[in-house]
Amino acid sequence: MEMAIVGQNGLGVGALAGSAMEEIEKLETEVTDLQKKIAALRRQIPAEPIRDYELTSWSGETVKLSDAFGDKSELIVVHNMGKACSYCTLWADGFIGLTKHLEDRAGFILTSPDAPETQRRFARDRGWNFRMLSTKGTSFKHDLGFEPEPGRFWPGVSVLRKDEDGKIFHVSKAGFGPGDPYLGLWHFLDLLPSETEWHPKFSYAEPVKKDMAHD
């Protein structure tokens, strides 16, 4: 005779699983709805005019913020804290596969307070394929809300808009942190049954071999 496995509250394991999945689906729907409401609210925030900052390219040349838009009227600006931050490096690694998709929709750049040559070397070591500009020596991050104190930086993203007259506006922003929607890795980790605290590293002892990755 087969015996049903019963949970602590008297329900069978199958019933418990079904009940949990129903609750998960309900919460996921609520989260999706809330994300849409947040996006709608962000669009209601009055745009803040900002000046045409001068940033620095890897070659040491001055690049006006207006030129970073390219042929787009909207620009996504990632605020990276620099090469010393393993978390910021994790987020930047995650943009590699998204770069061309993002650039098809809007301008996309990553900024950090590192010197241009430091950026160049680190980006090449990481295989980053997106444009980077240095904010070193500017008030750009402070003015956009990502440097609350001199030399103390916060990670996140800003969206800028340029009108037909060339005026630039700061239209929205969001901070980065573990579990946020800007890095899919967190959501994969949430699926794991073990609640092990994890922190990103700059490198890992046993990287996946290319021949294994495509088997």
Q: What is the dihedral of CA 83, 149, 182, 205, to 10 degrees?
A: 30
Q: Cβ distance 102 to 131 under 8 Å? A: no
Domain hosting 84: range is 46-175
Q: Are residues 130 and 171 in the same domain?
A: yes
Q: How far apart are CA 115 and CA 56, in angstroms?
A: 9
* Terminal-to-terminal C-alpha distance of the chain: 44
Q: How many domains does the chain have?
A: 2
Q: Are residues 56 and 110 in the same domain?
A: yes
Q: Are residues 21 and 109 in the same domain?
A: no
Q: Are residues 29 and 52 in the same domain?
A: no
Q: Are residues 37 and 95 in the same domain?
A: no
Q: Are residues 86 and 167 in the same domain?
A: yes
Q: What is the DSSP string of the chain?
A: -----B-TTS-BHHHHHHHHHHHHHHHHHHHHHHHHHHHHHHHHSPPEEE---EEE-TTS-EEEGGGGGTT-SEEEEEE---TT-HHHHHHHHHTTTTHHHHHHHSEEEEEESS-HHHHHHHHHHHT--SEEEE-TTSSHHHHTTS-SBTTB---EEEEEEE-TTS-EEEEEEEE--TT-TT-THHHHHHTSSS-------S--SSPPPHHHHT-
Task: Give the bridge partners for 160, in sequence order.
Answer: 75, 170
Its pTM stands at 0.85
34-38, 107-111, 123-127, 203-207 — which is least confidently predicted?
203-207
- Residue 21 within any structural domain of the chain: yes
- When the pLDDT of each residue in the chain is averaged and rounded to a whole number, the result is 91
- Residue 7 within any structural domain of the chain: no
- Residue 1 within any structural domain of the chain: no
- Residue 128 within any structural domain of the chain: yes
pLDDT in tens, 110-130: 999 999 999 999 999 999 999
- Residue 53 within any structural domain of the chain: yes
Q: Are residues 68 and 161 in the same domain?
A: yes
Q: Are residues 144 and 63 in the same domain?
A: yes
Q: Which residue has better confidence, 184 or 3?
A: 184
Q: Tell me what pLDDT residue 195 has.
A: 86
Compute the chain's Rg from CA coordinates.
22
The CATH number covering residue 114 comes to 3.40.30.10
Residue 193: Cβ-neighbour burial (10 angstroms; 0-12, 13-18, 19+) = exposed
Q: What is the mean pLDDT of residues 35-56?
A: 94
Portion of the chain with pLDDT greater than 90, in percent: 82
